[in-house]
Every structure is written in structure tokens, then in C-alpha cells.
Structure 1
Amino acid sequence: MSHNSDVPSGPTVWDVFGLAWPMTLKAIMLHGTVVIDAYLVSALGETSLAAMGLAAAIAGFVLGAILAFSNAMQIRTAQAFGTGDAVFLKSALAAGMTVNLAVGAVGLALILVLGRPVIDAMAPNADVASLSVDYLAIFSLVILGEAVGQCLSSYFNGCGRTKLPLYSFCLSVPVNVATSIVLIYGYFGFPAFGVKGAAMGSAIAICVQVGFLVYSWVRVDGHLRRVVGWRQSSFGRSLRRHLAFSLPIAATFFSATFATQICTLIYARLSLNEFAAMTIIAPWIMVTGTIGMQWAQATGIIVAQLLGKKHPEAVLDQFLGRAWRGAFVAAAAVAIFLAAVCLSANLLYADLNVETRSMLIGFVPILLLLPFPKGSNAICGNTLRASGDTLHVMYIFIWSQWLFRVPATVLAVVYLDLSAFWVLSITLIEELIKFPAFHRRLFRGDWKRADIAV
């Protein structure tokens, strides 16, 4: 008879927490930086704010692509780190950096060719267009910096050193805020650059962040520069293998981004009060959602490392059970927090219309349920990705988004004229639709026997 004591001790919930909390804080700080930049520029008036928003929206597509491939790099690095093979680790880093720089370069080329025409077509007036072009020209340096910085951050996360990327943000965020204030308004003898000053502050901050990450890598893993050889006999083959692993993960993120943007545009067809309520609750769902998502990503990192080390299936089962229980605790905390935000609508949003506040309070039943299937699906998705089963995860996300969420949103808003409550419930229904597909695949158990040493 088998006893639990016979199972070798594996990672614990605290190991997941040790990886997840720095990643969560970093994600929250990243969202907070965007809010701070908008706040600083808002004092310049609507024209400057609109210019920054337009330029940031265009740059956001490139940054989103870099982030998508960096997420794949994080899992690949965890697999390499688990094997203990220095050649594999060097190959993962070199391939990931090449992909990120290529994505950044292609993105900048597209901005150079199409940026001005797109801005001219979308800007409400010539002043906004001119300021937006100036901002985007300087912000291009941020794109290049993020290509390097996100790759190194993902590398450190995959190796389990999640505090280093957090430290880089702790350095860069104050620099961004301080330099932006000085350069926007012209303090200490500097010219007042206006909205361009915000882009300059971001560029200076990313230089500080990348400098810290490069220094940390040289100090911790600089010996990889002297490692001879590549994982797949040549760098070209290693790069192709990395792309084959990364593309499904990147496609999943691209699909999610575009589906969300389209649904947001459709929400604009709601009544003013309903659209306002959806606009208010969406950022809260996004920010609090980083808690469950980073927990799931930390779980995926550890699973990839365990698979790389070829731990027994019993250890994998034991660890995943622990991580899952932790995910439900995180989901409960998120659900309670979101419900508290909605129930406090009369206090937090006292200046809004009574009908809008009533709608926010009405969202409570959905928000109490949403974090649980969402968190469980995220655990499944990141575990399957860690085993290399990236295509199946991509298929689940894409068909649930494009065959259900987007058409259902169009039907609910445009044709059936349903209330905001039912429109928001589509998000919950989508998670419930994905639930059996994810869990059936995971419980089949093939991921525990995956050979990631390829």
C-alpha cells in the first residue's frame, strides 16, 4: 500500500508564494506607472492627454507583442533551469533575446512607416497629431529597452529569481516619476518639454531598469557567455525550436488583447450609465486578476523546473494539489475585494449617477464567482504550457474568445439590448465554457510524462 509519507517532498505553497509575490507587485507597479504618467500629463490639458493616449495605444501593440514572447521565454527558461544544462539555459536566453529584439525592430519599422498616417487618421485635430508624433518618436527608445528588459526579467523569473525584476522596477518607477515631473514642467532650469517630457522620463527610467538587469545577469549568470555550443547543434536550430514553442503562447496573448479591445468598443453601444459602470469595473478586474495570474505563472515555472529535473509523477501531483488550493485562497480574496469595491460604490464614486452606482452594486454576484473558474483555468493553462502543450492551450483560448465571447457580446449589446449585468456575465460564462476543456486535458495526465529536453 502507498502512503503519503512514501512520496518525496516537493515544492510547497510557500515556494509558489515566494515566486508569485514579486511578480504580482511588479505587474501592479506596471499598471500604476501608466496611471501616474496620465495623471502627470493631465495638468497640461486634454490635448496633451489625448496625444499621449493615442501614441501609447499605438506603441502598446508592439509592447504587447514583446510581452507575449517574453511570457513564452519565461516558461522555456524554467524548463532549461530545471534540467541544469548550461547549454540549454544559454540557448534559451540567446534565442529569447533575438526574438524580442526582432519583434521590437519590426514594430519600430511599422511605426516609422505607418505611425504618422495612423495618427493623422485617428487624431481629433492637428495639435493632438503633432504632439502624438513627437511623443512616439521619443517613446521608441522605451520599446527597444523593453525588448531587452522584458527578456531578462522573464529569464530571471524562469530561474526562480523573481525579486530581481521587482528590484529593477523599484529603481525605475521613482526615476520615471521624478524625471517626468522635471522634464514636463521644466523645473531646476530644464526646459518645459510638455508631453514629450513624459516620454523622456520613461526612456530614462527604462535605461536604469535595463542597466540594473544587465548588471544582475553579468553578476549572477555571466559565466554563460563562456559556455560552448547550442541546444540543437546550432543557434539557427535552437532559434527555430524556441519559435515553435513560443508562437502558440504569443498567439494566445495577441488573441486575448484583440478580443478584449473589440469587446470594449462594443461596450460603447451600451447606455451612458451602463458603459460608465463597465469602464469603472474593468480596471479593477484587470488589476486584481494579476494576483491569480501571477500565482498561476509561478506554478507553471515550478512545474517546468520539476519536469526538467524529471521528478516522479507523485511529486508533480502533490505539488499541483498544493498550488491549486493556494489558487482558491487567492480567488476568494479577490472575490471579496471586488465585492467590497462594488458595495462601496456609493462612497467611492459618490459623484456618479445613482443608476451607475446601482449597476456597480448589481455586479456583485458575478464578481463573487468569476475569480474561481478563472484562477483554476489559469493553473491548468500554465501547467500545460510548462509541459510544452502550448497548441492545445492556444486552441482553447482562441475558440472561446472568437466563437463565443465576441459574438455573444455583439448579440447581447447590439441585437438583444441586454443590461450591463448580462454583458459582464459573458466573461464568467466564457470561463465556465473553458473549464471542462482545460481540466479534462490536465486530468488526462500526459503533461506529467512530457519530454521537455528537446
Structure 2
Amino acid sequence: MPEIPATPSRRDIFAVAWPLGMKAMMMHGIIAIDAYLVSSLGEPALAAMGLAGAIGALLLGFQFAFSSASQIRIAQAFGSGETVPLKTGFYIGLLINLILALLGIIAVLLFGGMVLRAFAHTPWIAEQAQSYLLVFLAMVVLEAFSHAFTSLFNGSGKTTMAFYSQLISIPVNIGVSIVLIHGLYGFPAMGVTGAAVGTAVAAFARAAYLAVMFWRITGGYLTVQGWRNNSFVEATKRHLRFALPIATTFCSVTITTAVCAFLFAKMSVNEFAAITLIMPWIHVAGVFAICWAQATGIIVAQLLGGHTPPAALDAFLSRAWRVIFVSSMAVSLMYLAVCLSSGWIYSELQDETRAALMSFLPILLVLPYPKGSNAICGNTLRAGGDTVYVMNIFLTSQWLFRIPLTALFILYWDLSVTWVFALLLAEELVKFPAFHLRLYKRKWQAGGMSD
């Protein structure tokens, strides 16, 4: 029986995963920090920032979606040991990001003011939101570069680069925002717009750091001749064919979250408050498990690019799965602690709201296990090029299952918030057999750099 080649260990996966997790945590922190800094200006200022931020997040979300696909392509190229595919993946990813940024800027300039005025409660809020958004567009352009650099570094296993860039940008964001919001040290008091300037300056610092590291490590690939598939145009077509299903999946998740949020608002105030309070905990507590799955996908793509034998791939995934099971246990315990201490954390909650939070506990104790296992499957299948199948699972579970049932439960059947919340678990259970059966067929093991 042939010996199974050595594959990355759990420590190797952790080395890729922890910077991804810390970066994700800090991204959530940036949103909280900006809201905290603007909160001193009053609720109307917060409303203006939130309204403009929703549009800005949508623009950045499209870039993130396509960058996630570029990251997998680059991981495959890195595993192959060839430089031309690395160069090709980076520059195609950058081109796509810049085109998306340009389209976003055009859309905002043409329709942004109209949308903001339609949803703002007062003309002042609309004016402040538009001012914030126009400055935020600079960040959209800068993040086009940062996302491209991050995709290259993450796909090459250098996930600490993006983490370090956040360590630079966060203090810059806080410092500049405080000065410009309140007009300290002789600077003008710009209010809400000052927060946007602080975010843009921080984005510049992040992009500059990543650009310097990119140049030091690669030299811009100026000495590398040629393109993958012998043509930049042909390589772009194939890149887009691979990327579109992944981007569609991420965009669908974003839109689904927004639709469900509008539906949740139709519940009673206490029920809506309960589900609003628990959702951030779900995102934060699940960060490590999701990032572990992402790191697993990156390494699988590298292994496929290097033509690793199927037996070695199976051994690697077994190690990754054992850790996701342990992390799911930790997440369950964290949910238990949050629910049991909700009376202390949220001391001013009404009894009905606290009872709703406690009713979520049985669901939360189970949710991390199928969610984590599905994440491993999804990232592995994407790494193997099975992107359309993964997209179909998400679209089906979201648009043919979760959203229709959420609407029925809330608008027609008037079920309790516990039943509505249970659909989070039900969606993962619906995806579970489709993901795992596809993975066990092992067709993804033929992926990698085949095209």
C-alpha cells in the first residue's frame, strides 16, 4: 500500500485561520467604533451614517465577493508553484475590483442622492448621509486595491498581512475621526463627514502598507512574462466563469440578510429586540469556525494546485473536521453563557424580551455543528472548482426555503419568534445532505489548475 504524502497539520491550518479571524473581528469592531464616535452627535447623525453606510457596505460587498473567488484562484496557482498564474490571478482580480468601484461610483453619483432622500426621515439626515457617502467613495477605490492585495496574500498563505494592515488602519481611523468630527487642534468640525474622512484616511494607510509589502515580495511581477492561458483576455473570461457563482453566493447572502431584517421588523417590539440582540453574537462567536473553514479551503486549493493524491486530501480534511467539531462545542458553550447571563448583560430588558432570548438557547446549542460542517464542505467544494453547485445550494436554501418560510411564519401564521429563529438551524439542516453527499463523491478532487 503506497504511503500517504504528508499534508498540512492542524497547526498549519491555525496559522492561516487566526489572522483571518482577527481581521474579521476587527472589521466588526470598525463598524462599532464609527457608530460610537458619531453617537455623541445624536440619533439623527447616527441615522445619517447608518443610511450612507448601508449603501457603502453594498459597494464593498461586491468587491469582497469577487475577491473571495480570486483568493481561491490564487491559492490554486500558489499550490502549482508557477508564477504566471499568480500574476494573472492578481491583476485580473484588481481589474475586476476597479471596474466594480467605477460602476459603484457612477451609480452613487446618478442615484445616491435620490435614494437617500427617499429613505431619510429629514432633509438634514439626507444631506449629511450624502456628504458621508461622497467621501466614502474614496474608500471604495482604495479597498479595490486592498482587496486585491489581500486575495494574493491570503491565497499564498500569508494571511497575517491583512491582519497587520488592520492593526495600522484602526488607530488611524479612530484618531483622524475624533479630530475631524469634533474639530480638535484647529481642524474644522466636520461632524458625520469627519467620520467618513477618518475611514478614508485609514483605508489609504491600509492600502499603502499592503502595496509596499506586495512590491517587496513580488516586485509587481514586472519580470514575469506572459499570462495564464496565453492571453489576458482568455484568462479573464475563465476567471469570471469561476468567480461569478462564488460572487453570486456572497451577494445572495447579503440580500437575504437584508430581506429577513425587514421581515423581522414586522414582529412585536420585544421579539424584534431579542433577535436583533442575538444576531451579532452569532456572527462574532462563529467567526473562528467560519475562518477555520476558509483557511481549510485555501489550503485545499493549494493542495489541488500541487496535484496532491486523493488519500492525502482525505487525511487533511479529517484533521480539519475534528477541529471544527471542537470549535462548534466552544461556540455552543459561548451561546449558553450569553443566554444565561442575558439578564446581567442587558439589565434593562423587559421580561418578555429576556424570555425570547432564552427560548433561542436549544437552537443555539445545536446550530454550530451543521453550520461548521457545511462551511468546511462549501469551502472545499469551491476550492475544487465546484462553484456552481455550491451557489445552487445557497440560492435554493435561501430563496426557496428560508425567506418564504420566514414571510409565512411572520406575516401570515403569526408564529412566535422562536419558530422564526429556528429557521436558521432548519436552513443549515436543509443544506447538510446536499453538501456532504457532494463532497463524498470526491469529484472536487479533480479540481485545481485544470483550466
Query: Shorter-chain TM-score category?
Result: over 0.9
The structure 2 residue matched to 1:351, chosen from 339, 348, 352, is: 348
Q: Deviations over 1:319-371 (max 9, x none)?
A: 00000111111111111111211111110001110111111112111001001
Q: Matched residue of 1:226: which SS?
A: coil
State the TM-score, normalizing by the size of structure 2: 0.99
Residues 1:266 and 2:263 are matched in the alignment: yes
1: CA distance, partners of 2:80 / 2:254: 33
Report the CA distance between 1:386 and its aligned residue.
0.3
State the TM-score, normalizing by the size of structure 1: 0.98
State the match for 1:294 in structure 2: 291
State the match for 2:63 in structure 1: 66
**Match for 1:328: what amino acid?**
F
Q: Deviations over 1:196-225 (max 9, x none)?
A: 100000011000000000000101111622
State the match for 1:181 in structure 2: 178
**Match for 2:394: what amino acid?**
F
CA contact under 8 A between 2:214 and 2:220: conserved in structure 1?
no
State the match for 1:407 in structure 2: 404
1: CA distance, partners of 2:222 / 2:70: 18
The structure 2 residue matched to 1:384, chosen from 363, 372, 381, is: 381
**Match for 2:360: what amino acid?**
F
**Match for 1:102: what amino acid?**
I
Alignment of 1:5-154 (within 5 A): 6-154=3-151
CA contact under 8 A between 1:231 and 1:238: conserved in structure 2?
yes
The structure 2 residue matched to 1:341, chosen from 322, 338, 343, is: 338
Q: Deviations over 1:75-97 (max 9, x none)?
A: 11100100111111000001000
Report the CA distance between 1:147 and its aligned residue.
1.0
Residues 1:222 and 2:219 are matched in the alignment: yes
Report the CA distance between 1:453 and its aligned residue.
3.3
The structure 2 residue matched to 1:234, chosen from 225, 231, 248, is: 231
CA contact under 8 A between 2:383 and 2:448: conserved in structure 1?
no
CA contact under 8 A between 1:387 and 1:452: conserved in structure 2?
no
State the match for 1:374 in structure 2: 371
**Match for 2:227: what amino acid?**
W
Count of residue pairs brought into register by the alignment: 451
Report the CA distance between 1:303 and its aligned residue.
0.2
CA contact under 8 A between 2:176 and 2:198: conserved in structure 1?
yes
Q: Deviations over 1:378-417 (max 9, x none)?
A: 0000000001110000000000000000001011111111
Q: Deviations over 1:243-267 (max 9, x none)?
A: 1111000000111111111111001
CA contact under 8 A between 1:388 and 1:452: conserved in structure 2?
no
2: CA distance, partners of 1:224 / 1:315: 32
CA contact under 8 A between 1:277 and 1:356: conserved in structure 2?
yes
Report the CA distance between 1:449 and its aligned residue.
2.2
CA contact under 8 A between 1:396 and 1:437: conserved in structure 2?
yes
Residues 1:430 and 2:424 are matched in the alignment: no
Residues 1:330 and 2:324 are matched in the alignment: no
Q: Matched residue of 2:228: which SS?
A: coil
State the match for 1:417 in structure 2: 414
Report the CA distance between 1:181 and its aligned residue.
0.4
Q: What is the percentage of aligned positions where both structures have the same residue?
A: 50
State the match for 1:313 in structure 2: 310
CA contact under 8 A between 2:76 and 2:448: conserved in structure 1?
no
Gapped regions of structure 1 (runs ≥ 5): none
**Match for 1:238: what amino acid?**
A
